[in-house]
């Protein structure tokens, strides 16, 4: 069947909208199903597949195509490729991106300190964040700042596959020093042992006079080994509702400070947390809070005349 014959079969033309084609196809299917006319159903289905680009030319059944390779005939392998090629291409592209990220992280010369935000965060410009950390440590020459946006809001399990892959690399491979996470990401990776225990550090910074203006909270978890949960420890320090890091350019509603288990400078990372808390009085005035939109109230129906009486 040619494309022109397919158009005539459905009763549409080259200028018909996709919605018109869909509507016409559904109408004809309903008609011929009620008539139990299988021949016509096959004809309009073929026409529909040709018009919408879903038709795949059948592979000629030759002796060559009947040869078996890895448990399947060449014809079967051909059909598998034809019907799944876009899925396979997506896997190849995703794998290539993952390899690129790992190679880039391994081969690039690291900075003196690495800070990442993973979760429902946004860093429009890494320079203010880097400048702030450099201001805390005179000996640093370069600070690496990055983020992976992984949304936990309703209807969004992730911004995209690339964000999820980058998050996994930052949390398990790349050796970040400080990783700022939200509760969703913290819970996903804490049980896997992704963070350094911060029990002593939390007790220490909680006693700082500046901590009262932040509302620090200990975020605890237990690491599972062979299906058995160990004792709970503090693996994150929540900045409460202060959104303190918004003041240096790391924007997010929930902000939990963690130290990566892969960090090569855990003591420096702890010192960063100490200095950040001490400097909070200078940072808090720079904070622009991110406010969660309140749900729109349902309108109250007007009383009917009968109710008014």
Provide the domain count of the chain. Answer: 3
pLDDT score of 129 more than 70: yes
Least confident of 15-24, 196-205, 208-217, 259-268: 15-24
In a domain, 39, yes or no: yes
Judge if 69 and 194 occupy the same domain. no
Give the structural domain span for 9: 3-51
* Residue 211 domain flag: yes
Residue 124 above 90 pLDDT?
Answer: yes
211 and 137 in a single domain? The answer is yes
Q: Do 157 and 257 reside in the same domain of the chain? A: yes
178 and 115 fall within a common domain? yes
Q: Determine the pLDDT at residue 109.
A: 67
Q: Specify whether 42 is located in the same domain as 65.
A: no
Sign of CA dihedral 241, 247, 253, 257: negative
Average pLDDT over residues 221-250: 90
Mean pLDDT of 56-61: 56
Token digits for 281?
A: 């009085």
Task: Give the CATH number of the domain where residue 12 resides.
Answer: 1.10.287
pLDDT > 50? residue 308: no
Q: Please tell me the predicted confidence (pLDDT) of residue 57.
A: 59
Q: Is residue 291 part of a domain?
A: no
DSSP-derived secondary structure for 13-57: -TT--HHHHHHHHHHHHHHHHHTT-HHHHHHHHHHHHHHTT---P
Q: What is the pLDDT of residue 131?
A: 96
Residue 200 in domain: yes
N- to C-terminal Cα separation, the chain: 71
Indicate yes or no: pTM above 0.85: no
* Region 253-273 average pLDDT: 95
Better pLDDT: 47 or 55 = 47
| Digit-coded pLDDT (tens) for 269-282 | 999 999 999 999 99
| Residue 236 covered by a domain | yes
Average pLDDT over residues 59-70: 64
Band of pLDDT at residue 294, cut at 50, 70 and 90: very low
In this structure, the answer to whether residues 87 and 219 fall within a common structural domain is no
CA distance 243 to 253: 6
* Predicted confidence (pLDDT) at residue 70 exceeds the cutoff of 80: no
* Nearest-angstrom CA–CA distance, 190 and 222: 7
Pure H helices in 53-160: 74-107, 126-136
Name every residue whose Cβ is closer than 8 Å to that of residue 186 and which is 6 or more positions away in sequence.
195, 219, 221, 235, 236, 256, 258
Count the Cβ atoms, other than its own, within 10 Å of residue 281.
12
| pLDDT at position 81 | 61
Higher pLDDT, 300 or 116: 116
Average pLDDT over residues 124-142: 94
Q: What is the CATH number of the domain that holds 155?
A: 3.40.190.10
What is the pLDDT at residue 246?
Answer: 95
Tell whether the model's pLDDT for residue 142 goes beyond 70: yes
Looking at the structure, do residues 68 and 150 belong to the same domain, yes or no? no
Q: What is the pLDDT of residue 160?
A: 57
- From 16-30, 42-56, 98-112, the region with the lowest mean pLDDT: 98-112
- Over residues 293-309, mean pLDDT: 48
Q: What pLDDT score was predicted for residue 107?
A: 61
Question: Would you state the structure tokens that stand for residue 174, as one six-digit string?
Answer: 């790349």
Q: Are 147 and 176 in contact (CB under 8 A)?
A: no
Name the band, by pLDDT with cuts 50, 70 and 90, for residue 82.
Answer: low
**What is the C-alpha separation between 166 and 164, in angstroms, rounded?**
5
> What is the mean predicted confidence (pLDDT) over 225-240?
88
The 3-state DSSP class for residue 4 equals helix
d(CA 222, CA 192): 9
Do 171 and 274 have their domain in common?
yes
Q: What is the pLDDT of residues 171-197, one digit of tens each?
A: 988 889 999 999 999 999 998 899 999
Q: What is the mean pLDDT of residues 6-15?
A: 88
């Amino acid at each position: 069947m040619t494309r022109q014959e397919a158009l005539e079969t459905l009763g549409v033309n080259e200028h018909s909208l996709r919605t018109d084609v869909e509507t016409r196809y559904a109408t004809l299917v309903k008609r011929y199903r009620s008539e139990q006319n299988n021949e016509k159903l096959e004809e309009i289905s073929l026409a529909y597949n040709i018009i919408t680009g879903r038709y795949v030319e059948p592979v000629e059944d030759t002796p060559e195509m009947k040869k078996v390779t890895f448990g399947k005939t060449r014809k079967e392998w051909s059909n598998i490729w034809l019907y799944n090629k876009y899925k396979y291409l997506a896997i190849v592209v995703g794998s290539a991106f993952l390899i690129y990220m790992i190679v880039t992280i391994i081969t690039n010369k690291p900075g003196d300190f690495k800070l990442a935000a993973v979760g429902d965060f946004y860093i429009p410009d890494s320079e203010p964040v880097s400048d702030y950390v450099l201001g805390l440590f005179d000996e640093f020459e370069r600070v690496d700042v990055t983020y992976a946006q992984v949304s936990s809001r309703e209807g969004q399990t992730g911004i995209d596959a690339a964000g999820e892959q980058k998050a996994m690399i930052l949390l398990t491979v790349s050796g970040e020093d400080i990783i700022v996470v939200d509760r969703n990401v913290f819970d996903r990776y804490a049980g896997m042992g992704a963070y350094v225990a911060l029990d002593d550090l939390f007790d220490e910074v909680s006693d700082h006079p500046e901590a009262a203006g932040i509302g620090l909270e200990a975020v605890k978890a237990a690491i599972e080994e062979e299906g058995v949960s160990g004792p709970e420890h503090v693996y994150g320090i929540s900045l409460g509702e202060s959104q303190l890091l918004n003041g240096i350019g790391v924007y997010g509603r929930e902000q939990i400070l963690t130290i990566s288990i892969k960090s090569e400078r855990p003591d420096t990372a702890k010192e960063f947390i100490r200095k950040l808390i001490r400097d909070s009085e200078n940072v808090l005035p720079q904070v622009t809070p991110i406010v969660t939109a309140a749900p729109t109230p349902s309108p109250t129906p007007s009383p009917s005349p009968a109710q008014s009486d």
